[in-house]
Chain A
Amino acid sequence: MSTVSEQDIQAGKGTRLVEMAWDPITRIIGNLGIYTKIDFANRKVVECKSTSSMFRGYSVFMRGKDPRDAHFITSRICGICGDNHATCSVYAQNMAYGIKTPILGEMIFNLGEAAEYMFDHAIFQDNLVFVDFCERMVKETNPGLLARAEKTEAKHADIHGYRTIADIMRSLNPFQGAIYREALQMSRLTREMFCLMEGRHVHPSTLYPGGVGTVPTPQLFTDYLVRLMKFIDFAKKLVPLNDDIFDFFYEALPGYEMVGNRRILLGCWGAFQNPEVVDYSYARMTDWGRAMYVTPGVVVDGELVTTDLTEINLGIRILLGNSYYEDWQNEEMFVSHDPLGNEVDKRHPWNQTTIPKPQKRNLPEGPYSWVMSPRWYNKRTGEFLPLDTGGGPLARLWATALAGLVDTPYVKSTGKSVTITLPRTASSGEMQLEWKVPKWANTIERDRARAYFIAYAAGMAMKFVEDALKRLRGGDVRVFQDFDVPKEAIGCGFHEAVRGVLSHHLVIRDRKIANYHPYPPTPWNASPRDHMGQPGPYEDAVQGLPIFEENGQENFKGIDIMRTVRSFDPCLPCGVHMYVGDGKVIEQHHSPMLGFGK
C-alpha cells in the first residue's frame, strides 16, 4: 500500500517534494518497503530508500549443526526458490567433502533447476509482473497509452494471435485474460517436471551432497520431456508477445528507457554445471565455472570484467552500511587464505559473524534495514561495486552473451548475443530466438530478459534430457557418490537462484558447521546505502526515475516505481502485514478465484 506523508518537504531550491512510501510492496515475497521523495512538478523521483523489516538468522542458527543437513535447512530460506538454496548448499558441501556428483545425477540436478527457472519466471512474469502492464492497470494509470495501444498493431500477431497491443494487455488481465490463465496452467506442468527430478517443490526431498535419490528410468525422462514439449509450445508464443508489449512502451512513451535505468553493474554466479567437467575442487573452480551452461561473470558498464569464479568469490564483501547489525571486525577469523593461498578478507562471507542489533528504523540518518550491503570488490579499480542481478535473467544473459562460452545444440552464445533454438512442437515449427545485449539495464530490459531466459532454460532442458536419455540407454544408472564428512573443511557453492546470484559459504570444524553464510540475490538488490553512501540497486534504480503515470498527486499509484522494483523480482520471504499508522495493523486474507464471476 502507498502512504503519503502529510507534511510535504520544501527542498532548498524551492522544489516541492512529496514523501511517498509503499510498505509493503505487494505481489512479491516478503516485507519490502520503498520510501521515496517525489518532485511532482518535474515528474521525477528525487530520493529513494529501500527497507526490510525482517530478520532471518540462518547464519546464526546453522552453527553447530551437522553439515549434511545444510541443504535441507537452507532450502527453507525461501518458499519459492528453496531448491536453488538446496542445490547451492549441495555444491558447497560437495567441495567441502571433496566429492563430485556422478554425471547422470548432475543431469538430474540441471533438469530440476531448469524446470524451476521455467516455473518461477513464467509465473512471476505472467501472473505478477504483467499485472502492471495489463489493460485494467494501464486504464487506471495511463488511459492515453491504452487508447494508443488499441490502435497499434502487434508485430508478432501471427505467432501469438493478438492483433493489437491492447488485445495483448487484455490477455494479461488477472483471472480473466487468456495468457494469465494459460500461464497458471503452465506453472502446474513445470512444477510437475520439477517434482519428477527433485521429488518435491519447492523443498526438494531427493537432493543430497554427492548426488540424488531420484531413480533414473526411461519413464522419468520421457515424463519430463512430454511436459517440456508442451511448455516450449507456450514459450514460443510468450517471447514474441513480450517483445511486442515492451517495444510498444519504448515507442509510445519516449524516454521510458530511463525508467529503472541504472549504471550497468551486473553479477551472475553461473548455473547448470557441466557434468563432464565439474569436480567441485576449489583449485579447478575457474575451469569448471567457465564450463557452466550459464556463464558466471561480472559486467561493469557493459564490459565483461571477469568470468573467473575464484576472483568472483574473493571479491565478495559484506558491508554493514545502514543495516541493523553490529560489526564483526573483532570476531573470529575462520578462513585467512583460500586453498590456492589467496588472502581472504575479513568482510568475506567465510569470515562473517552475524550479530543482530534490533533498533528503531531511522530513515533519514540510518540504520533502516535488516538487509546488509553486499558489494563486489573490483581489484582493477578499487571500487566496491553495488552489483545487481537484473532480476536474474538480465545478468545471466548478459554475462553469457559476452563470454561466448556456451555452445550447445539449442543455446549458443555469440559474444554479443544469445541464440536459442526451440524445436518443433505440436502447434508450431522450429523457432529461433535471439537475445541481443541491450543498451540499458532498465526496467523494460529486466522484464524482457526474463521471457528470453524462460526459452533459454527450456532449450537447456532439451539438451539435458536428451543427454540423460542417451546415457541411460547406454546402461548408466549411477546417480550418487558416497562420502565421509571430513573433520575440518571449507566449501563454497555458486549458483543462480531464479532472481539472481546465490552463494553459500561453509566452514566445517569437528565435523560440524562452524560458519555458514548464504547470500541470495535480494541482499544484493535490496541493500541499503553502504558506509560510503552508495545506494543499493533498488534505491539507485528508483532515484532519478522519470514519472510517466498520467495520474496527478491525488490519485498517484506509483506504477513506474512499482514496475521498477518488481522488475528485480524482489524476494524477502516472510509474512506480510500492513502497517497503517497509529499502531494499527491490517491483515488481509485473499483467496484467488473464490466466488469469481458471481
Chain B
Amino acid sequence: MFGFKRNGKSKEKVVANVRVGKPQVKPTASAHTAGVKRGNARGNSEKEAGIKTAPDRLSAKATARRSTGINAEARNPIDPRMPNLPPA
C-alpha cells in the first residue's frame, strides 16, 4: 500500500472534519517522466510524412506519401492544383 501504515497515527491528517490517509501519490510527484517522448511536443507535426504544414500552421496539405511509402511521388494528383484527398 505504498508504504502507508494503516494504524500509523503520524500518517493521519484531518482536513475539515474528515480524517484522511496518506496520499498514494504525492502532489509534488512528477507529472511527466523525463526522457519519455511527448507526442504533443513542438516540431512533431513537421516530422510526419506526407503532411506539408502552411506557414501560418493552421492548415496543411497532404501528399500521397501520407498513405503509402511505395513510389508515393507517382501517386500524387497529376495537376498540382488538384487537392490530394487521402482515404485516411
Partner-B contacts on A (CB < 8 A): 63-68, 100, 102-104, 208-210, 215, 217-219, 325-326, 355-359, 471-478, 480-485, 511-513
Contacts and interface: CB of A to CB of B under 8 A. Distances in A.
Contacts of A210: 40
B56 to A, nearest CB: 9
Interface centre among B17, B40, B44 (most CB of A within 10 A): B40
Contacts of A355: 15-16
Given A210-B40, A356-B16, A481-B45, A217 B59 contact: no
B22 to A, nearest CB: 14
B32 A511 contact: yes
A326 B61 CA distance: 54
Given A102-B59, A482-B44, A358 B84 contact: no
Given A477-B86, A512-B31, A482 B40 contact: yes
Contacts of B66: 477
A482 B60 contact: no
Contacts of A513: 31
6 contacts: A64-B28, A66-B31, A356-B16, A357-B18, A472-B83, A485-B32
Interface string B54-65: 100111111000
Contact of A477 (B16, B40, B58, B60): B60
B41 interface: yes
A359 B17 CA distance: 9
B85 A217 contact: yes
Contacts of B86: 217, 477
Contacts of A219: 87
Interface size class of B (residues with CB under 8 A): 20 to 34
Contact of B83 (A67, A325, A475): A475
B43 interface: yes
B32 A478 contact: no
Interface string B5-42: 00000000001111000000111110110000010111
A488 to B, nearest CB: 13
B84 to A, nearest CB: 6
B77 to A, nearest CB: 9
Contacts of B88: 215, 217
B84 A482 contact: no
B85 A103 contact: no
Given A357-B17, A475-B84, A511-B32, A484 B51 contact: no
A478 B85 contact: no
Contacts of B42: 482-484
A147 to B, nearest CB: 56
Contacts of B51: 477-478
Nearest to A359: B17
A477 to B, nearest CB: 4
Given A102-B57, A484-B38, A485-B32, 16 more contacts: A63-B27, A64-B29, A65-B31, A66-B31, A66-B32, A102-B59, A102-B60, A359-B17, A478-B51, A478-B54, A478-B60, A480-B45, A482-B40, A484-B40, A484-B41, A513-B31
**Ranked 3 nearest A-B pairs via Cβ:** A475-B83, A478-B60, A64-B27
B24 to A, nearest CB: 11
Given A64-B27, A355-B15, A473 B58 contact: no
B31 A357 contact: no
B59 A476 contact: yes
A325 B66 CA distance: 54
Contacts of B68: none
Contacts of A485: 32, 40
A478 B59 contact: yes
Contact of A482 (B25, B27, B43): B43
Contacts of A325: 16
B26 to A, nearest CB: 7
B60 A68 contact: no
Contacts of B28: 64
Contacts of A65: 31
B62 to A, nearest CB: 4
B62 A475 contact: yes
Contact of A208 (B16, B40, B60): B40
A478 B29 contact: no
A209 B42 CA distance: 13
Contacts of B53: 478
Contacts of A475: 61-62, 83-85
Nearest to A215: B88
Contacts of B54: 478
Interface centre among A215, A217, A473, A482 (most CB of B within 10 A): A482
Interface centre among B15, B25, B31, B45 (most CB of A within 10 A): B31
